[in-house]
Amino acid sequence: MHAPSPRLKIHWLEKKQIIFEFQVSGGLRYKDHVEVVTFGSLTLILGHLRSELGSGEKQFFRRLFGKTRVKLDFMDDMANWYRCHAAFILPVAYLAYAHQCNLRICSYRDAKNYIVAGAEDYDFLKSIGALIRPKNDDRGLRGLSGVLLAFSLWVLAKTKYGELAVSNHCRNAVSEMQFMERKFQEIRGKGPSFPMPTFDQLKKEAPDWEELHRLCGPRKDNR
């Protein structure tokens, strides 16, 4: 990147403040309408890479969305939030691809393996010193809580919500999932000996990326 011209230097900021955002929703765009699924209020997760927004920044967004039904969730560590997001999304993506993006045919055992794989991913991240974001998001993945969560997700996968939130997303976002996997594998390089058997098995059962690009291909209806 070139240095700014003399005329632009007056407006040049040596220290840039970048705000990262993630919208918690899913859906499918058609020619004449859009189907959107949210779980409760539409939520926007906002934060700096390694710190929470300042009071002035929070006030700005509260004013911006004050007359809407959007829920604002301020995060103190978006870098680790994105790592945790990838860790929990990749197992269900592998599961979807292994079932031709039709989660309705998944078994309860599939749902249970997804939860186990997610727990393995979180354990790995903690082993390399990464923080779990949202805080304590890894709780409830084991024991009776894990069983109940797996059952709930298994039921949800057989509904329109599961189709919009996961199946259609995976079908229309192969490149995104491939990129996410590549970045997560780079992180795994920090602890290559850490065992993640269920995660690796789900990955093995899914088609390779070249095959997925061929099978899914470009679609007219995009998420």
Residue 204 and residue 145 share a domain: yes
Tell me the average pLDDT across 186-212: 96
Q: Domain limits at 202? A: 78-216
* Ramachandran sector of residue 101 (left: φ over 0; alpha: ψ -120 to 50; beta: rest): left
Residue 154 and residue 177 share a domain: yes
Residue 199 and residue 179 share a domain: yes
CB atoms within 10 A of CB 173: 16
Give the pLDDT confidence score for residue 162 in this predicted structure: 83
Tell me the average pLDDT across 190-212: 96
Give the pLDDT confidence score for residue 18 in this predicted structure: 87
24: confidence class by pLDDT, cuts 50, 70, 90 = confident
Among 23-27, 144-148, 215-219, the least confident range? 215-219
Per-residue DSSP letters for 72-123? EEE-S-HHHHHHHHHHHHHHHHHHHHHTTT-GGG--HHHHHHHHHHHHHHHH
Residue 86 and residue 70 share a domain: no
Residue 82 and residue 43 share a domain: no
Q: Is the pLDDT of residue 219 over 70?
A: no
Mean pLDDT of the chain: 88
In a domain, 161, yes or no: yes
The structure's pTM equals: 0.84
Residue with tokens 């859906």: 27
Residues 6+ apart with CB under 8 A from 66: none
In a domain, 1, yes or no: no
Residue 194 and residue 173 share a domain: yes
Residue 98 and residue 45 share a domain: no
pLDDT (tens digit per residue) in 45-98: 999 999 999 999 999 999 999 999 899 999 999 999 999 999 999 999 999 999
Residue 69 and residue 54 share a domain: yes
In a domain, 97, yes or no: yes
* Residue 26 near residue 169 (C-beta atoms within 8 A): yes
pLDDT (tens digit per residue) in 95-132: 999 999 999 999 999 999 999 999 999 999 999 999 99
